[in-house]
Amino acid sequence: IGTRTDSINEEVLAYLAELSKEREIWVEYGVQSSSDKTLQRINRGHDSASIEKYIALTHQYGLKICAHVIFGLPVETPEMMLDSVKFALKLGVHSFKFHPLYVVKRTALANDFKKGDFTPILEEVYIQTLIEAIKLLPEDVMLQRVAAGIEDDTLLSPSWCYVKHEQMFKIRKALKEEGFIY
């Protein structure tokens, strides 16, 4: 179940916990960043305290938790991106989905991009940050996603996000060089 911490409540968690008696249920939270400044800048609708509260509550209901983290959000440095991973790990998430931020037409980010107020993450920076994030993961934490792309004319930037299989090829090569097989 993919959601945000400003869109969940105890009633829903109790219902999911009941369902989890018959099937495996995962709650994927769009953490995106642990930086309140970034979360406010992207108009996320929640802060890091909300993330902490609802991940703790989700644990109380015995549900598996996946943290979705985006690398390349406005004003974020690689160190801030890795801090978001460390933040989610401290909260005890069971898995991660990582992917780069990309700019699509008809969005507030597209307007910032066109005005020169936002520069997308470079592919090399994304891959290196991804590798450093993976190095932080304990063996019992799953990795569900390492890339994302959009293969249509709505993509404005970065162009390297257009063909996902090329992105995956480069990521696999970099991971192999670090001794990882993905």
Can you give the pLDDT of all 182 residues of the chain as single tens digits?
999 999 999 999 999 999 999 999 999 999 999 999 999 999 998 999 999 999 999 999 999 999 999 999 999 999 999 999 999 999 999 999 999 999 999 999 999 999 999 999 999 999 999 999 999 999 999 999 999 888 899 999 999 999 888 999 999 999 999 998 86
In the block, tokens 């800048």 appear at 41
pLDDT, position 163: 87
CA angle, 167 then 4 then 7, to 5° = 155
CB 19 within 8 A of CB 61: no
Q: What are phi and psi of 86, to 5 degrees?
A: -60, -40
pLDDT, position 128: 98
Q: Spell out the residues 6+ positions from residue 116 whose beta carbon is closer than 8 angstroms to its own.
A: none
CB 2 within 8 A of CB 68: yes
Record the pTM. Answer: 0.94
pLDDT, position 46: 93
